Structure formats: structure tokens, C-alpha cells
Structure 1
Amino acid sequence: MRSLVAAAVGLAAALALVLTLTAIGAPAGETSPEPLLTTVPGPKK
């Protein structure tokens, strides 16, 4: 029974954290215009 209560408290805390972060919103900022390299550049031809 204690484990059930602990799981419920943990779930409630996690849900509260998610809702708080959602209410605050994403931080203001801009994305970089430069594309990100996803592979290692090969030898130049």
C-alpha cells in the first residue's frame, strides 16, 4: 500500500512539473540560420 501511495505522489509531482513548464512556455530565442552537420565531412574533391 505504501508503494502505491509513493507512486501516486511521484506521478502527481511529475504532472505538476510538466504543467508548470507548459504554462511558462518555451524560452524566447531564435534558431540558427546555419544548417547542422549530421555526418562527418568527407575529403574535398
Structure 2
Amino acid sequence: MRALTAAAIGLAAALALVFTMTAVGAPEGRTFPEPLRTTVPEHP
């Protein structure tokens, strides 16, 4: 029964964090216009 209570408390805390972050909104920031490289360039 203690495990079920702990799981419920953890789930409630996680949901509270998600709802708080949703209410606050995304932080203002700057994005880079160029995409990041996802592959390693080939060397001749």
C-alpha cells in the first residue's frame, strides 16, 4: 500500500510541475537561423 501511495504522490508532483510550466509559458530566447549538423563531414 505504501508503494501505491508513493506512486500517487509522485504522479501528482509531476503533473503539478507540468501544469506550472504550461501556465508560466516558454522562456523567451533566441534561436539560431542555421540548422545544426547531424552528420560528420567526409574527409578526402
TM-score by length of 1: 0.79
Max radius of gyration: which structure? 1
Identity across the alignment (%): 70
Matched length: 44
Where structure 1 has 5 or more consecutive residues not aligned to the other structure, the ranges are none
Q: Post-superposition, which runs of at least 4 consecutive aligned residues in structure 1 deviate over 6 A?
A: none
Structure 1 residues 26-35 or 5-14, which shifts more? 26-35
TM-score by length of 2: 0.81
Report the counterpart of residue 6 of structure 1 in structure 2. Answer: 6
Name the Cα RMSD after superposition: 1.3
Where structure 2 has 5 or more consecutive residues not aligned to the other structure, the ranges are none
